[in-house]
Chain A
Amino acid sequence: MEKYKVVVIGGGPAGLAAALESFKNLDDKKVLIIERDKFLGGILNQCIHPGFGLHYFKEELTGPEYAHRFIEQVMENQIEYLTETHVIEITPQKEIVAVNKKGLKRIKADSIVLAMGCRERTRGAIITLGTRPAGIFTAGQAQRFINIEGYRIGKKAVIVGSGDIGLIMARRLTLEGIEVKAVVEIMPYSTGLRRNIVQCLNDFGIPLLLSHKVTKIHGKYRVEGVTIAKVDSQLKEIPSTERFIECDTVLFSVGLIPENELSKKAGIVLDMRTGGPVVDNTFSTSQKGIFACGNVLHVHDLVDNVTLEAQTAGRYAAMYSQHPELFENNIHINIVAKEGIRYVVPQKLNKNFVQPFVLRFRVDNFYKDAIVTISNAGKILMKIKKSILTPGEMESIEISQKILSQLDFSNDIVVSLQNI
């Protein structure tokens, strides 16, 4: 069986950054990246729009350009990678089973970094009535068909969901000569970034129908149209507000979920709210020596955050592979999300590694002029005033040495939100 110090599963931005950072921190530089697609770069290969790298590189790049900067470094350092190779199993003993054209492969790793990204929720996830004709896609699938394979997927489209991917696809379809009839959003707000609403919808006069849902899809062989209706504050359809929109294509952009089949098989504890593994501040999962980062851990809106997180995961994965004894007697305190905070990552602080770290979180609603507090043992350790907080934007807080030095380790760290 082949042996590696660190094996990274997934060759997207998370996997690339984790592999590079592991490589830098290892004496015996046996690092391997395993990617099921033909190319490294992950989802970024199909994200040809600008908007990447503003924080990390301080310039605005497209997805492939952002990925290229890391792929280049992987090549320069001659880090080993396998493409068109699908990992089908990992064990708690850190054995990896993968398949490719040549057959089955077994690999032993001292530590593993999970970086498999996420998958899209489909029409089924939001239970949409009607027939099952051709012309129904998830937004990411359509993005791949158009941007990589170059297919023309239809003539008139309706997009369900107004997160960033839905908005970006509205613009992309329009540029491809496909008429976007409407973007239909069930919530009273869009979770997409403001710049995407302006540049993807307003620029082209595409209507955004908030508090609306698609109640039915029509068509026998190909989509012929959809019925939409207004919804009330309970998200229930309001009778007599139904309207038919003629179209031949429907794109679903209704959320992403971490790709956690492998994690489940390896017996890793998952967080119900993020959908990804529970990790501590070293990005270690509940299985020692298995780390996680990027969209497999929790869904990110900005790739820059993925890179930073993956670098930390990669560094600790390298440390584990060289000094597993440092992780022997792990003792954790919980980091708990309360009022107004939907989730936090990491969910635990490892007492053996009390070092400054970044806490990332999402709020559960729109908030104006609110205070995020971090408290412990009934004492407020930190207060951050925020003029605006939205569920669509991930927030980050730096937990400094000063804060850490004040912690009472027999109590949870609590993150919560208060109105001013």
Chain B
Amino acid sequence: MQENKVTCILCPRGCTIEKKEQGGTFEFAGFGCKRGLEWAKVEFTNPKRILTTTVHVKSGEIEFVPVRTNLPIPKEKIFEAISILKGIEVLAPVEIGSVIVKNILDTGADVIATRKVGKKDSSDD
């Protein structure tokens, strides 16, 4: 998705920032402040997002543990990362912050658990 417009998300103003090419150099227009301009430059070149989802847990007090990447990963790798995580099952107990997948898709980001899941208490059923 090569867009030449992005919406800045840093403050409620929500400026639409436009990228214009002029003989090999880029110009930006529409930003309301410098911080937004810096944000937009990254957003145009390599947009990244934190990915959050859930992963199966075996023998846990709940059946799914929420997880996230500890760093933002490139936007275009999100669906591939999701499909990897769909196929995974971890064993309880899970500690908050424990690494579920290291360096997912070579992005440098680890997928970590965001909730503590204790072992299933057999008296629960």
Q: Which 4 A-B residue pairings sit nearest by Cβ, starting from the closest?
A: A195-B9, A48-B66, A64-B115, A194-B14
Contact status B53-A48, CB under 8 Å: yes
Chain A residue with Cβ nearest B124: A38
A175-211 vs B, Cβ < 8 Å mask (1 yes, 0 no): 1000000000000000001110111001101000000
Name the A residues within 8 Å of B56 (CB-CB). Answer: 150
What secondary structure prevails in chain A residues at the interface with B? helix
The contact of A62 among B1, B66, B82, by CB within 8 Å, is B66
Q: Which of A212-220, A260-268, A370-378, A385-393 binds B?
A: A385-393
Name the B residues within 8 Å of A387 (CB-CB). Answer: 13
The contact of A393 among B8, B12, B62, B63, by CB within 8 Å, is B12
Q: Does A45 contact B (CB under 8 A)?
A: yes
A331-356 vs B, Cβ < 8 Å mask (1 yes, 0 no): 00000000000000000000000000
Contact status A194-B7, CB under 8 Å: yes
Chain A residue with Cβ nearest B97: A65
Contact status A148-B62, CB under 8 Å: yes
Name the B residues within 8 Å of A45 (CB-CB). Answer: 115
Q: Does B59 contact A (CB under 8 A)?
A: no
The residues in B between 19 and 73 inclusive whose CB is less than 8 angstroms from any CB of A are 49-50, 52-54, 56, 62-64, 66, 68
Cα–Cα distance between A393 and B12 once the two chains are bound (Å): 9
Shortest distance between the CB of B35 and any CB in chain A (Å): 14
The contact of A197 among B7, B49, B96, by CB within 8 Å, is B7
Contact status A175-B53, CB under 8 Å: yes
Shortest distance between the CB of B15 and any CB in chain A (Å): 10
A64-B114, A197-B7, A198-B9 known; A150-B54 Cβ under 8 A: yes
Q: Does A68 contact B (CB under 8 A)?
A: yes
Chain A residue with Cβ nearest B53: A175
Cα–Cα distance between A380 and B12 once the two chains are bound (Å): 27
Cα–Cα distance between A175 and B86 once the two chains are bound (Å): 11
Instruction: Pick 8 A–B contacts, CB within 8 A, sort by A.
Output: A61-B114, A65-B96, A68-B96, A68-B115, A147-B64, A148-B62, A194-B12, A203-B49
Contact status B63-A199, CB under 8 Å: no
Name the B residues within 8 Å of A64 (CB-CB). Answer: 66, 96, 114-115
Q: Does A50 contact B (CB under 8 A)?
A: yes
- Interface-centre pick from A64, A148, A197 (highest chain B CB count, 10 A): A64
Q: Does A60 contact B (CB under 8 A)?
A: yes
Q: Does A49 contact B (CB under 8 A)?
A: yes
Name the A residues within 8 Å of B12 (CB-CB). Answer: 193-194, 388, 390, 393
Q: Does B78 contact A (CB under 8 A)?
A: yes
Contact status A62-B52, CB under 8 Å: yes
The residues in A between 360 and 406 inclusive whose CB is less than 8 angstroms from any CB of B are 387-388, 390, 393
Q: Does B75 contact A (CB under 8 A)?
A: yes
Cα–Cα distance between A150 and B82 once the two chains are bound (Å): 14
Contact status A68-B116, CB under 8 Å: yes
Chain B residue with Cβ nearest A205: B1
The residues in A between 58 and 94 inclusive whose CB is less than 8 angstroms from any CB of B are 60-62, 64-65, 68
Contact status B9-A199, CB under 8 Å: yes
Cα–Cα distance between A175 and B7 once the two chains are bound (Å): 22
Name the A residues within 8 Å of B1 (CB-CB). Answer: 205
Name the B residues within 8 Å of A198 (CB-CB). Answer: 6-7, 9
Contact status B7-A48, CB under 8 Å: no
Name the A residues within 8 Å of B49 (CB-CB). Answer: 199, 203
Cα–Cα distance between A230 and B17 once the two chains are bound (Å): 29
Contact status A203-B75, CB under 8 Å: yes
The contact of B64 among A150, A175, A203, A390, by CB within 8 Å, is A150
Q: Does A149 contact B (CB under 8 A)?
A: yes
Shortest distance between the CB of B92 and any CB in chain A (Å): 14
Shortest distance between the CB of B100 and any CB in chain A (Å): 13
The contact of A147 among B13, B54, B82, by CB within 8 Å, is B54
Chain B residue with Cβ nearest A203: B75
Cα–Cα distance between A203 and B9 once the two chains are bound (Å): 13
Name the B residues within 8 Å of A147 (CB-CB). Answer: 54, 64, 66
Contact status B63-A194, CB under 8 Å: no
Shortest distance between the CB of B101 and any CB in chain A (Å): 16
Cα–Cα distance between A64 and B62 once the two chains are bound (Å): 13
Chain B residue with Cβ nearest A368: B13
Name the A residues within 8 Å of B13 (CB-CB). Answer: 387-388
Contact status A62-B64, CB under 8 Å: no
Cα–Cα distance between A146 and B115 once the two chains are bound (Å): 16
Cα–Cα distance between A366 and B9 once the two chains are bound (Å): 17
Chain A residue with Cβ nearest B1: A205
Cα–Cα distance between A9 and B52 once the two chains are bound (Å): 30
Shortest distance between the CB of B31 and any CB in chain A (Å): 14
A48-B53, A65-B96, A68-B96 known; A150-B63 Cβ under 8 A: yes
- Kindly list 7 other residue pairs between chains A and B, CB separation below 8 angstroms, not including A65-B114, A149-B64: A49-B52, A50-B52, A61-B114, A147-B66, A150-B54, A193-B12, A199-B49
Name the B residues within 8 Å of A150 (CB-CB). Answer: 54, 56, 63-64
Name the A residues within 8 Å of B9 (CB-CB). Answer: 194-195, 198-199
